């Protein structure tokens, strides 16, 4: 059996997405910047996709800009808000994705900002009281906090964070890459300046994403070149990717409730079965469903004797997952998230992440395999 449980890394493309992308490739090849009929036809396709995304998120089409993915979008939000909005101080978390952390750290090295990290509780949750204290001392600040952690699945109440930021006139950026397409994002009800998405995290194609820039913010491009994306992102548009992104997000919103129930059921079932099979198993991050991303389960296992070989052994057995220990060993850099949480460095951790295509039978096979590897029966 081949089991794919690494959907937080990337997801299989939905067949309907492939179909609409293929049709566009076959029928609409013009450059959307060209003024002739072939170009105008493709420009219309791109703008229709933009309107689809904006409508789903309850934003204006003028606030949606397509990018090469989440990393570019995060970089754009952070760098341009610092340079263009007069930001000299930033607040983030040590658990952020490297697209955010490394960008902020580089801005600090360049002398553009002072960077502070908000306190976390032992499960990795944001201390909102400390966030408020930091903002009280530095009101005009860039706050960059992700909606859901890509490794342990912790959810942050970005509506509440947004209200705190509004109180202190702070600029709020949230990396929503892991939750886009999996939760409803009503931007008309959120005080947020920038959010980001990547199509391949919700059954769309790789190499395409978007940034939402609230209309109250006037920033310059990160990438200069042509006048594409209303002069905000130079470079010929990835038309087929944009079409695929819009279709994938549309499908997610249509099927969201059904898939949430299915995937949450798989996650809950796996937790129960792993706990029965391996009594010393632990789960990193939040364990309650209301505060945890339903697509991610981070498991800490007692099998220290095969720590360096666990992911490889799972792969040999036909199971694709990801993870890493909190310590560095050999060429393994280790997980900065688990390090920040002071997780036991001798225990291997595995991130299992689910999609609508996974089944209960796959979970049974995975639990059986993990038990055989850990306890040898």
240: domain CATH number is 3.40.640.10
Q: Are residues 242 and 282 in the same domain?
A: no
Domain boundary among 213, 231, 251: 251
The pLDDT value given to residue 324: 54
Q: Are residues 193 and 321 in the same domain?
A: no
pLDDT at 307 over 50: yes
Containing H/E element for 375?
A: helix 360-375
Q: Are residues 286 and 150 in the same domain?
A: no
Q: Are residues 348 and 219 in the same domain?
A: no
| pLDDT digit string, tens, across residues 31-58 | 999 999 999 999 999 999 999 999 999 9
Q: Are residues 301 and 327 in the same domain?
A: yes
Q: Are residues 300 and 179 in the same domain?
A: no
Quick one: angle between helices 239-277 and 37-57, nearest 10? 30
- DSSP annotation of 99: H
Q: SS3 of 263, please?
A: helix
User: Where in the sequence is the domain holding 317, given as residue range(s)?
Assistant: 3-10+256-375
The count of structural domains within the chain is 2
Q: Are residues 74 and 223 in the same domain?
A: yes
Structural Rg of the chain based on CA atoms: 21
pTM: 0.94
Gap between the Cα atoms of 215 and 223, Å rounded: 19
Q: Which two tokens stand for residue 237?
A: 């548009």
Q: Are residues 221 and 334 in the same domain?
A: no
Residue 70 phi/psi, 5° resolution?
Answer: -70, -35
Confidence of residue 139 (pLDDT cuts 50, 70, 90): confident
Gap between the Cα atoms of 301 and 283, Å rounded: 9
Q: Are residues 103 and 175 in the same domain?
A: yes
pLDDT at 325 over 60: no
Q: Which positions are annotated as active-site residues?
A: 327
Domain boundary among 224, 251, 278: 251
Q: Are residues 97 and 236 in the same domain?
A: yes
Q: Are 204 and 245 in contact (CB under 8 A)?
A: yes
Domain boundary among 218, 251, 284: 251
Q: What angle do CA 319, 324, 326 make, to 5 degrees?
A: 155
Q: Are 53 and 213 in contact (CB under 8 A)?
A: no
pLDDT at 330 over 50: no
């Amino acid at each position: 059996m081949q089991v794919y449980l690494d959907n937080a890394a990337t997801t299989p493309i939905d067949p309907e997405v492939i179909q609409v992308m293929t049709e566009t490739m076959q029928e609409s090849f013009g450059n959307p910047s060209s003024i002739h009929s072939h170009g105008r036809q493709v420009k219309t396709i791109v703008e229709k996709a933009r309107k689809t995304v904006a409508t789903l998120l309850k934003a204006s089409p003028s606030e949606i800009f397509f990018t090469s993915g989440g990393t570019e979008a995060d970089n754009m939000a952070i760098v341009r808000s610092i340079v263009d909005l007069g930001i000299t101080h930033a607040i983030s978390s040590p658990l952020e994705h490297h697209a955010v952390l490394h960008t902020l750290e580089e801005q600090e090295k360049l002398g553009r900002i002072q960077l502070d990290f908000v306190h976390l509780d032992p499960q990795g949750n944001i201390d909102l009281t400390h966030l408020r204290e930091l903002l009280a001392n530095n009101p005009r600040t860039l706050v960059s906090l992700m909606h859901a952690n890509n490794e342990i699945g912790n959810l942050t109440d970005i509506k509440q964070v947004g209200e705190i930021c509004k109180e202190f006139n702070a600029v709020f950026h949230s990396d929503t890459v892991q939750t886009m397409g999996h939760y409803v994002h009503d931007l008309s009800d959120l005080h947020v300046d920038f959010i980001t998405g990547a199509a391949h995290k919700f059954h769309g194609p790789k190499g395409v994403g978007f940034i939402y820039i609230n209309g109250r913010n006037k920033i310059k491009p990160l990438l200069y070149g042509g006048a594409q994306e209303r002069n905000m992102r130079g470079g010929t548009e990835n038309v087929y990717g944009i079409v695929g992104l819009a279709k994938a997000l549309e499908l997610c919103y249509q099927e969201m409730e059904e898939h949430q129930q299915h995937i949450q059921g798989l996650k809950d079932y796996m937790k129960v079965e792993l706990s029965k099979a391996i009594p010393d198993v632990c789960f990193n991050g939040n364990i309650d469903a209301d505060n945890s991303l339903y697509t991610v389960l981070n498991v800490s296992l007692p099998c220290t004797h095969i720590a360096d070989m666990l992911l490889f052994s799972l792969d040999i057995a036909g199971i694709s997952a990801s993870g890493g220990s909190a310590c560095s060993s050999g060429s393994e850099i280790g997980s900065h998230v688990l390090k920040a949480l002071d997780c036991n460095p001798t225990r291997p951790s595995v991130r299992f992440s689910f999609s609508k295509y996974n089944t209960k039978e796959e979970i049974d096979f995975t639990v059986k395999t993990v038990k055989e590897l850990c306890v040898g029966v």
